């Protein structure tokens, strides 16, 4: 046992399962859009751009929310568990309360934006809470945490394939209840680790300076993991967003139930990549695991022109591999950023890195959608490899040093 492991606090067995479950319940607000938008398209006769605004509204709100939470150092100035609970409750009220007051498209648009804003206090803050407990073995803990979220991201495709249709109001209400339960579970069942309360009081008395966030650019190790994550985000959500189109194009069909189920399998494979990557990181290190998976996903981007004309079995292996590694490196980038950032502002650094990463993802998705109106998948998708290439270049300092 090394010195870090020996000095680490003893972690109650319930802590990680509760953090994962609470994070999953809170983040379920994010997935509500994928579940309700098809029904709302029929109810309100929405155009494609209008439906796109509903789906993209959460991402837009999340980018603004993470920026605000980071600049005001919310996750570090206040107790993270209380921030998580408050954000879960406010997100739940925005998710179900606003549409209930006015069942209009405009109200739903405001609702989705606010949900995204308050998710800034759920997703990165949940990782910050895990970081408090799992400084040793953080890669494995975040691998499980992010893996559960990746699986949940894939679930709407399975629901669509099964033809399960619930009224949007029912979906919103139940997911809001789940989010509040997740926030309560985080406060009730996850204690502060030894010494955390004293550190919080000392930090509150000393005050925190927003200039501490510049560590993302000043510190070589934090900069390496942050820019590696940015390269990863350039590719990640564009691949996930267009997975059904890739499969449908290969099969020469529309977005059928079968395509939705295959999309679920491909995207859910990322949860395996997260969990297995976290376990391997215990021995190989998070930097090596992140670099290998990022390199493999970049290669998968470059193979698009050949795989779209490959035999079905080779196409299937390629898609499963791509789905596994495109998400599998995400928790290791967060691990590296959390471990290398100053402990006093680790929550806000994670939040700001998330903000920039999701802004990059939204830009990439819009750019790919625009380009696909003028070109083919074979011409467009290989350019997603630019992100992994930049990320690999940025990660070099973490491979040279122990």
The per-residue pLDDT for range 194-243, each reduced to its tens digit, is: 766 555 554 554 456 677 788 999 999 999 999 999 999 999 999 998 99
Helix spans in 252-285 (H): 257-284
Query: What are the tens digits of pLDDT across the range 145-181?
Result: 999 889 888 877 777 776 666 788 888 888 899 999 9
Helix spans in 95-195 (H): 98-101, 105-119, 123-133, 138-162, 168-189
Strand, helix or coil for residue 376: coil
pLDDT attached to residue 111: 92
The candidate with the shortest Cα–Cα distance to 112, out of 58, 190, 150, 171, is 58
In angstroms, the Cα distances linking 122 to 18, 317, 390 are 14, 34, 29
Query: What are the tens digits of pLDDT across the range 368-394?
Result: 989 998 999 999 999 999 999 999 999
The candidate with the shortest Cα–Cα distance to 93, out of 64, 117, 62, 125, is 117
pLDDT attached to residue 7: 53
The pLDDT of residue 79 is above 80: yes
- Reported confidence tier of residue 345, pLDDT bands at 50, 70, 90: confident
Report whether 91 contacts 115 (CB < 8 A). Answer: yes
Residues 6 or more apart in contact with residue 113 via CB below 8 angstroms: 57, 58, 60, 61
The Cα 344–Cα 114 span in angstroms is 28
pLDDT attached to residue 240: 92
User: Which of these ranges, 4-8, 246-250, 262-266, 346-350, has the smallest mean pLDDT?
Assistant: 4-8
3-state class percentages of the chain: helix first, strand second, coil last, to nearest 5: 85, 0, 15
Counting every residue written for the chain, the total comes to 402
The pLDDT of residue 3 is above 70: no
The pLDDT of residue 285 is above 90: yes
pLDDT attached to residue 164: 63
pTM of structure = 0.90
Q: Is 3 exposed, middle or buried (0-12, 13-18, 19+ CB in 10 A)?
A: exposed
pLDDT attached to residue 44: 85
Residues 6 or more apart in contact with residue 238 via CB below 8 angstroms: 361, 364, 365, 368, 384
The candidate with the shortest Cα–Cα distance to 107, out of 117, 118, 94, is 94
Report whether 311 contacts 319 (CB < 8 A). Answer: no
pLDDT attached to residue 399: 87
- Reported confidence tier of residue 267, pLDDT bands at 50, 70, 90: very high
- Structural domains present in the chain: 12-395 (1.20.1250.20)
Element (H, E) at 202: helix 196-206
The Cα 249–Cα 15 span in angstroms is 44
pLDDT attached to residue 1: 45
Q: And the tokens for 35?
A: 């579940």
- Reported confidence tier of residue 103, pLDDT bands at 50, 70, 90: confident
The Cα 235–Cα 328 span in angstroms is 13
């Amino acid at each position: 046992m090394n010195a870090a492991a020996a000095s680490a606090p003893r972690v109650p067995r319930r802590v990680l399962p509760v953090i994962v479950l609470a994070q999953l319940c809170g983040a379920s607000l994010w997935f509500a859009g994928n579940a309700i938008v098809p029904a709302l398209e029929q109810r309100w006769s929405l155009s494609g751009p209008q439906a796109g605004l509903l789906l993209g509204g959460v991402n837009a709100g999340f980018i603004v929310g993470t920026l605000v939470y980071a600049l005001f150092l919310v996750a570090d100035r206040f107790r993270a568990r209380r921030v998580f609970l408050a954000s879960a409750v406010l997100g739940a009220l925005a998710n179900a309360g606003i549409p209930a007051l006015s069942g209009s498209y405009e109200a739903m648009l405001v609702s989705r934006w606010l949900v995204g804003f308050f998710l800034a206090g759920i997703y990165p803050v949940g990782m910050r809470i895990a970081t408090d407990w799992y400084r040793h073995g953080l890669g494995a803990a975040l691998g499980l945490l992010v893996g559960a979220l990746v699986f949940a991201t894939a679930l709407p495709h399975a629901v669509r394939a099964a033809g399960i249709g619930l009224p949007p109001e029912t979906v919103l209400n139940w997911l809001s209840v789940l989010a509040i339960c997740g926030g309560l579970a985080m406060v009730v069942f996850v204690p502060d680790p030894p010494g955390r309360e004293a550190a919080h009081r000392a930090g509150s008395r000393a005050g925190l300076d927003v200039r501490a966030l510049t560590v993302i650019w000043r510190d070589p190790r934090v900069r390496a993991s942050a820019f590696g994550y940015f390269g990863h985000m350039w590719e990640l959500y564009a691949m996930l967003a267009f997975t059904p189109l890739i499969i449908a194009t290969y099969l020469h069909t529309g977005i059928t139930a079968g395509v939705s189920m295959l999309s679920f399998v491909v995207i859910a494979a990322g949860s395996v990549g997260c969990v297995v990557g976290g376990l391997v990181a215990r021995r190989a290190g998070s930097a090596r695991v992140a670099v290998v998976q990022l390199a493999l996903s970049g290669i998968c981007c470059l193979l698009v022109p050949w795989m779209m004309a490959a035999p079905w079995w080779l196409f299937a292996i390629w898609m499963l591999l791509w789905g596994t590694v495109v998400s599998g490196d995400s928790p290791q980038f967060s691990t590296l950023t959390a471990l290398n950032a100053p402990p006093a502002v680790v929550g806000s650094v994670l939040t700001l890195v998330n903000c920039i990463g999701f802004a990059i993802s939204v830009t990439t998705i819009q750019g790919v959608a625009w380009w696909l109106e003028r070109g083919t998948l074979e011409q467009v998708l290989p350019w997603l490899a630019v992100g992994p290439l930049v990320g690999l270049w940025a990660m070099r300092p973490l491979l040279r040093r122990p």
